[in-house]
Amino acid sequence: MANYKGHVAGGLGLGVMYIAFLGLLPGRLLEKTGGILENWQMLTGLLVLAMLFGLWPDIDTNSKGQDIFFRAAFGLDVLLIATGHLEAAAYFGLICMFPIIGKHRGWTHSKWAMFVVPAPIVVVPYINRSELFATFLVFYGAAVVGYFSHLLLDGLIIKGLRLKT
């Protein structure tokens, strides 16, 4: 089982491979992403997202991943409240409690969660501004890749393979 640094490295490593894979795709497949691969801020965002989702499954226990997630969630919730989005703040706070309800290495370490947890990254923009769907689909892919790296390092993708880092 990997530690905090191992999961960050795993998310970063697979994030770099994901970006390299995107670079191999024909240009017409990425034409609606607004030049995401030519923008260093977007590339940095993809890598950060992959690293954060590499940590995310461990938010169900006292960990660095949990510390990072809840600090960011607290800031976002305060921002929602301060801007008068009270209903969104209430739902967001409720959703943030889900991982704490389960046990460690429970649902947050499941293969289905790898696809469902990052889904709002692509679903919310699709509902609100469908012209951004392609761009957010690329970000969704980075989140899934980061999540996958966590499950891989914990030995949950290939049974019997558990990497110590």
Out of 72-81, 128-137, 149-158, least confident range: 128-137
Q: What is the pLDDT of residue 4?
A: 82
**pLDDT for 165 beyond 60:** no
Looking up tokens 């976002």 gives 76
Mean pLDDT of 5-15: 93
Query: What's the pLDDT band for 89 if we cut at 50, 70, 90?
Result: confident
Q: How many CA atoms lie within 13 A of 143 on its CB side?
A: 17
Mean pLDDT of 81-90: 89
Mean pLDDT of 7-29: 90
CA dihedral sign, ordered 128, 132, 134, 135: negative
pTM (predicted TM-score): 0.83
Mean pLDDT of 60-88: 87
CA 126 – CA 128 distance, rounded (Å): 6
Mean pLDDT of 49-63: 88
Encode pLDDT of 111-152 as tens digits. Answer: 999 999 999 888 887 887 788 888 899 999 999 999 999 999
Mean pLDDT of the chain: 86
Q: What is the pLDDT of residue 70?
A: 86
Local structure of 87: helix, strand or coil? helix
Q: What is the pLDDT of residue 132?
A: 82
Query: Which among 36, 31, 59 is positioned nearest to 46, based on CA atoms?
Result: 36
Q: What is the pLDDT of residue 144?
A: 97
Contact 145, 50 (CB under 8 A): yes
Which of the pair, 32 or 10, is modelled with greater confidence?
A: 10
